[in-house]
A and B are shown apart, each in its own frame.
Chain A
Amino acid sequence: MLNRRHFIGTGIVAGTLLTAPSVWGQAKPKVVVIGGGAGGATAARYLAKDSGGAIEVTLVEANPIYTTCFFSNLYLGGFRDFESLQHNYDKLAGGGVTVINDTATGVDAAARTVTLAAGQVLPYDRLVLSPGIDFRDGSVPGWSLEQHAEIMPHAYKAGPQTQLLKKMVEEMPEGSVFAMIAPPNPYRCPPGPYERISMVAHVLKQKNPTAKILVADPKDKFSKQALFEEGWQKHYPGMVEWIGSEFGGGNVEVRPEAMEVVIDGEVTKVACCNVIPGQMAGKIAAIAGVTDDKGWAPVDPFSMKSKADPNIWVLGDASAQGDMPKSGFSANSQAKVAAMMIRGELTGSKTFPARYSNTCWSLLDTDDGVKIGASYEPTEEKIASVESFVSQTGEDAALRKATYEESLGWYAGITADMFG
């Protein structure tokens, strides 16, 4: 028998609710967010801010001071200092988010609890995973994260690795070779490796102008390629050699002990080597059981909710959502959709059709900025790109300078949006 109350309840279940949250009882509903980057910090901030305290939000992030991966190339190029990439969680904590500096090591999906490295167990009604990436060991023959990251840094999670790479570039002997092993698709920040090449070239041009840059790439095309190639030709003529898959760029071995790189059988002695390995979702996503056989976490395009568990959301790089690139901007955009949808489920607040967008700026040289962008809409199958744009080759210096200045404005904007 259905009474009226029961009927309304099941109606809601059919629409949005899968697990009755504690809001229907007395306690406040609980959301645990794992990962304090562009996805997680934004989600935590918006959940706390927009629910006005109706939801208990806990953010779990290993680092008390967060270093943004976006703009870390500008630090490599000497355009920003390291501290300018660093942010604390004080304002988030002041805004009602409980911030715990620890690493999540376990998720019990049935009991709806997260276990932290220190042993603490956090119950949740909804769990948001925004762990970023982890590296696939074995994706670059000869290199392993544990043994070789100090010799051939990846610098693809910002922090000490970024500082190490900068130091190595600056200490390269005159006329020596910098090599990059570029990553296979999909990876974090599609233009990132090539902006990095531009920034390394900018440093070498001043300090070590006879040095060479070698890029071994398993791909035959990359984002903003025409813009980067034009920029390298213009600012750093003769310095950068890009070897795409067509010319054996994917047939690579590194020898960290000998500081050698073997590209399609040809051995090159290098002074500095940046190995950017193949990637997958940060490992807590696999621990939570929400990843697929490719190592990413499929999500519902309309909400960013995991397809594997109705109480878990996955944001940013770790998610497999369709057409959006893995970027800080994307993660921030997805987090706002997720926060709105989670509030809808837990407090009955209104939900609206998901809106997603992304823009990525890259710096080629001083005051020479370019960008790409797109807007996205959900379909049953995926988040689909519906419109896109890219800076044009041959743009004048004033426009390029304005684009760079705009990117500075964006950095200030998104970090304020994430951290308060």
Chain B
Amino acid sequence: MNCRLALVALCLVLGPVPGTAEQIGDAEQGATIFASQCKACHQIGEGAKNRVGPQLNRIFGRRAGSVPEFNYSKSMERMGSDGLTWTLTTLDAYIANPKALVSGTRMNYRGLPDPAERAALLAFLREWSDRPQDIPESEPTALKTDPDLSPEILAIKGDPDYGEYLASECQTCHQADGSDQGIPSITGWPAEDFVVAMHAYKQKLRPHPVMQMMAGRLNEEEIAALAAYFATLE
């Protein structure tokens, strides 16, 4: 009986589908925006070719000014060689106001001021870039939940079962028995050291990309729960 009541209570707290990532934007609306704002100069989709502007297939993850056989402005070429790569963030800034990012761009466009419309357009453009299933390192397709703000996560703080579930993600690489060949042991690590190290990864002070990503999706309570869990493992 207790068990059943707990389950009902948990359903009420968590709702049926907690932990949902936010979509970039409304891709259907984005298609409409593309047709009215971009299509006169840019092609996208199957068989897209360079016109007044470069074709936009696979723009996500691409270096600025790098579509073969397209005649870019000097300004765009310079930004490309300086390292400008098209991501959600850089494309959003460029579409908001092209000259903010590339002063001498030939893209004669005033900019799209509404953030929701830009998000919709970006969601549409993303559909024509690499699929993460095939190219896992390609740009994300949804927006990360902020672990420090997620109400579903904050509601389950201090739960030892949750600590154990979180730890299962660590144990794909860090062995519970404390072996440390190639990957350091975190078993029996003092909780304080654990917390400090995870925060250093979260702030990207420590350089390891896998750990930056893992720590980046944990909030303070989750880090504390993990520290407590691994400190007591023998």
Contact = CB atoms under 8 A, between A and B. Distances in A.
Interface stretch (B14-22, B43-51, B72-80): B14-22
Interface in B59-103: none
A131 B142 CA distance: 29
A386 B143 contact: yes
Contact of B169 (A323, A333, A378): A333
A385 B141 contact: yes
Contacts, number: 207
A384 B21 contact: yes
Interface residues of A, number: 69
Given A333-B172, A351-B10, A221 B135 contact: yes
Contacts of B133: 185-186, 322-326
Nearest to A220: B58
Contact of A350 (B10, B141, B152, B210): B10
B203 to A, nearest CB: 15
B175 interface: yes
B213 interface: yes
A63 interface: no
Nearest to A356: B169
A223 B7 contact: no
A16 B15 CA distance: 10
B21 A15 contact: no
B41 interface: no
B173 A410 contact: yes
Given A332-B172, A352-B162, A389-B213, A325 B136 contact: yes
Contacts of B209: 371, 373, 389
B165 A224 contact: no
Interface stretch (B31-39, B112-120, B177-185, B193-201): B177-185
Nearest to B173: A413
Interface string A341-371: 0001001111111110111100000000001
Q: Which of A222, A378, A384, A414 has the most CB of B within 10 A?
A: A384
B175 A412 contact: yes
B134 interface: yes
A377 B144 contact: yes
B6 interface: yes
Contacts of B19: 302, 352-355, 377-378
Interface residues of B, number: 64
Interface in B117-152: 130-145, 152
A11 B182 CA distance: 48
A388 B175 contact: no
A143 B5 CA distance: 58
B216 interface: yes
A375 B18 contact: no
Given A324-B133, A410-B183, A377 B10 contact: no
Contacts of B140: 374, 384-388
B131 A405 contact: no
Nearest to B134: A185
Nearest to A386: B144
Given A352-B18, A410-B183, 20 more contacts: A12-B11, A222-B134, A323-B132, A325-B134, A325-B136, A354-B19, A357-B172, A360-B136, A371-B210, A373-B136, A374-B136, A379-B20, A384-B140, A385-B132, A385-B136, A388-B136, A409-B182, A412-B179, A412-B182, A414-B173
24 contacts: A12-B4, A12-B7, A302-B17, A302-B19, A329-B172, A336-B168, A355-B166, A371-B209, A377-B19, A377-B144, A378-B17, A379-B20, A379-B142, A385-B141, A386-B144, A387-B213, A388-B138, A405-B182, A406-B182, A409-B179, A410-B172, A412-B175, A413-B173, A413-B174
Interface of B: 3-8, 10-11, 14, 16-23, 58, 130-145, 152-153, 156, 159, 161-162, 164-166, 168-169, 171-177, 179-183, 209-210, 212-214, 216-217
